Each structure stands twice: as C-alpha cells, then as structure tokens.
Amino acid sequence: MKRSFVLLLVSLLLILAACGNSTKQSSDSTDSEKKNEKAEVNLYTSRHYDVDNELYKKFEDETGIKVNVIKGEADELIERIKREGTATKADLFLTADVGRLYRAKEQGLLQEVSSDKLSKQVPDKFRDSDDMWVGLTKRARILVYNKDKVQPEDLSTYEALADDKWKGRFLVRSSESVYNQSLLASFIEIDGEEKAKEWAQAIVNNMARSPEGGDRDQAKAIAAGIGDVAIMNTYYLGQMLNSQDTEEVKVAEQLGIFFPNQETTGTHVNISGAGVVNGSKNADNALKLLEFLTGEDAQFTFAEANYEYPVNPDVEPAELLKSWGEFKEQEIPLEVLGKNNAKAIMLFNEVGWK
C-alpha cells in the first residue's frame, strides 16, 4: 500500500515538474529573446484601448524596443508592484486617472524622470511637481443636456446644479466611478470640505434616479426623458457620436454640450498618465516610451482614435472635439485630486451618493 502511494506521489510530482518545466521553458525563451533583442520595456497599465496596443507596436517598429504588457485595474497593479518590491519587473505604470498616479507616488513606487523632450512635449501643468509622472491624454467632465428642455443659458457651473430648479432632473453615475471621485476631490480643494459636502448632498437630492450604469447610460437616460442634465466625460460622447449603433448616434445628437464653470474656476479635467517604476531595470527605455507617447504622432493617434484631448500643446484635438470649442480648464494642481480622493469617497458615503 505504501509503495503504491509513493507511486502516486511521484506521478503527482512529475505532473508538477512538467508544469514547472513548461513555464521554465517559456521564461527561457523570453530570456533568449531578451538576449537577441537586448531591449524591452515592461508596462503595467490600466488602459485597455486597442489604440494603445497600436501605439506600442509602432514604438517597437521605430525603436526595436519590445513592449511587454500586463493590463489590470490600477489599484491591483499598484498593489502588485508594491508586493514585488525591488524585484519588480515593471518599468512603467500607466493609468487613466491622476488620483492613482498620486497614490503610486505616495507609496514610493515611482522614480523621478525628466528630459528636455518631455518638458517640451508636456506642459508643467500635466506633470508631477517632482517629475514622478507625466500626463498622456486629458478628458473633461462636462455637462450634457436635453436640447428641448434646457437652454444653455440655464446652465452655468457645477455648483449651480445644487439649485432646487434641478430637483428630479439631474443624472450622474455612482460614486464608485473614479471620475466622480476626482470631481468631488477638486471641489474639496477649491471650495473646502464643508461646501463640497453640501454640494454633494444637494446633488443627491436633485437626482432624477439613484445612480446606475456608466456615462453612456446617463446620456441615454436624457434621451429617454428620465432627466434633463447629466455629467459625463467628453470621450464617451465622442464614442457615441461615432458608434456603429445608429441609435446611440441619435441619442448623442439630441444632446447639447456644455463646459461648466467657464466664468469661474474652469471645467474639471482629469488625465491618463504614466510614471517610471522605482527599481525599473529598463528606465531608459521607459523614458523613451514616455517621450514617444507624448510625441506628436502618438498624441495625434490618441486624439483621433479615442476622442481624448492631447496633452502636447503642439497637437490639435480631433475635429469633433474642436467643433465643441475651446474651454477654460480647472487651474488646480492635478495631484490634489489624488490627495483628496479618500476624503471625497467618505463624503459620498456620508451624503448617501450611491
């Protein structure tokens, strides 16, 4: 009996060893690839757009540096980099919200990186004050409205949405959306915590329905007559206007676009951005990739394919975005969005913004 069990154990071990071997082979092959090409850059990213892959491909073709990618949710990637510590393979951390860049920086996961090229391609405003991250694209959180029921004159600022006249007419997605968190974080910075909380409370009272769905769903709810004004990100609107589904296009066409706070503090802007990971083994290549992604070619591609605003001042936004006109942006240091994030979430919970 014992002998037969030993047999079973051995066969188990063999299976395990076989697994081990196959993975070892694969890591061998990546090793040998490394030796052949000698250049690579490892990317942890929470952006999932096809256009990103196209850009990495282009970068590979231009520089011969291979781009390896792990995609995930930003916080999970941060956690992974943290746990991997000095042994991490990550070179570049890329994400779609400045709050998460701030968190990565706070946790000591990023290193300073700067070059003349980067400074030229990305205005100071979209770079970390300590050069720990740079912005790649920006998106504005704007108001859309039902053209039949709302005149643009009725709208002015985010703050004005707290007014009673919007009771039962206002639409927004849940507070779990990092875009809403960053929005409230910006108000905490500008108006103070107390005012920000009052605003959030008033918004909850004005909601046409309790928050559900994504940004696109808010637009559809306006078309369906559930509410009259909604907050949404510009690029979702761009995607809807260019959707394969003609019904989505119709919905988007019914909407008016309004950039709030033009007379006051400016429209809220968030960025996608990236930072070089502390302990990166290919920091030079990571820098090259950053320079590439903020360069004119890549910036143009980002803008055209995804309706995001380029950070590079030499690059024009896509035609569609240009047709919406220029606008005044919020003038606060972007890192405060990260700094105030947890506070914003707590405020949301306290006022019952689902």
Is 141 exposed, middle or buried, given 0-12, 13-18 or 19+ CB atoms closer than 10 A? buried
CB 255 within 8 A of CB 222: yes
CA–CA separation, 271 and 308 (whole Å): 9
Q: Which is nearer to other proteins, 62 or 350 (CB)?
A: 350
- Rounded to a whole number of angstroms, the minimum distance from the CB of residue 128 to other proteins is 18
CA–CA separation, 103 and 268 (whole Å): 20
Handedness of CA 171, 331, 312, 131 (dihedral sign): negative
CA–CA separation, 287 and 290 (whole Å): 5
- What is the residue whose two structure tokens read 């070059």? 115
CB atoms within 10 A of CB 134: 25
The encoded tokens of residue 66 equal 């291979």
268 annotated as a binding-site residue: no
- Rounded to a whole number of angstroms, the minimum distance from the CB of residue 124 to other proteins is 26
- Rounded to a whole number of angstroms, the minimum distance from the CB of residue 227 to other proteins is 10
- Rounded to a whole number of angstroms, the minimum distance from the CB of residue 326 to other proteins is 26
44 annotated as a binding-site residue: no
Long-range contacts formed by 315-322: CB under 8 A, 24+ apart: 318/238, 320/238, 320/241, 320/242, 321/234, 321/238
- Rounded to a whole number of angstroms, the minimum distance from the CB of residue 320 to other proteins is 17
48 annotated as a binding-site residue: yes
For 13, how many CA atoms within 13 A lie in the half-sphere containing its CB? 6
Classify the phi-psi angles of 122: left when phi > 0, otherwise alpha if psi is within -120 to 50, otherwise beta.
beta
Q: Which amino acid is at 158?
A: Y
Alpha helices in 139-214 (DSSP H): 178-191, 193-206
Q: Which residues of 60-84 are buried (b: 16+ CB within 10 A; e: fewer)?
A: beeeebbbbeeeeebeebbeebeee
- Rounded to a whole number of angstroms, the minimum distance from the CB of residue 284 to other proteins is 18
- Rounded to a whole number of angstroms, the minimum distance from the CB of residue 233 to other proteins is 10
Binding annotation: 48, 235-236
Binding annotation for Fe cation: 48, 235-236
